[in-house]
Structure 1
Amino acid sequence: MPTTDLLAARGKQLAAGAGALTAALALGATLLAAAPAHATTPGPAKPFGVVTAKTGLSQRQYPSTDSSVRGHLHHRAQVGLVCKVRTQSVGGNTVWYLTREERPVWVAARYVTSSGAVRYCKDVQRLRVQPNHPAKHAVG
């Protein structure tokens, strides 16, 4: 086969391959554009809680009613939960939740209904579980 015929045949093969590649890229781009935005694999949902106390709930610096009050949540307020510990009993419930606030605070689980699984705090600093400050209020 002459060299020009080989070059022509090779050129046709390259053109056919390039055409197939272009078609595949166009199809991929179309499918990507048509895919919904939430098509990525979602991670586990972050747990949250809803305040059940009719008068609201104090947010504490540490998981104890002897700890300083750092804020207040109203009845039915939603709050993000990081983890839980077992410390002082409030109304027969020894669980306290660490919240996902800008400034982390603790709330008594007795007055919070949680959604999803809340893991135990394994790496809680020693200072977070030992109250050292006087309380402003003695309500959970």
Structure 2
Amino acid sequence: MKSVTFFLAGIVLLTLLTILASCSVIDTTALPHTPIVKMGANNFLQPEVDIKKGQKIDLVNTANDQHVLANGQWQGSKQVKTTTPGAPSVNLTVQGNQTSTIGPFNTAGTFHIYCTIHQGMDLVVKVS
């Protein structure tokens, strides 16, 4: 009788351990993710983004307007194209309601991306 009780207790304990092991909690903050920057009709809805080295950025066009993105920035009404060492080369056309990815950004620093169509549409990417 004692051996049957120990056997059943062992099965119950093994079942509980199996259930606990299968219900592990995952800390999603530790999982890598791609930052999202949304674009409106003629601007970046978030004009600055902070990322870590090695990350990419997803650009989400929330409008029907086309954007042509390049390395550089607007200075008043003048487009200033720049090539910053360590920045990914950006020459990208994003159609309306489309998502595109730029990167990875493998060098720490501050990088500028702008839309060649919409004056003043600048994005600052800070990489640490």
Question: TM-score, normalized by length of structure 1?
Answer: 0.36
Higher Rg of the two aligned structures:
1
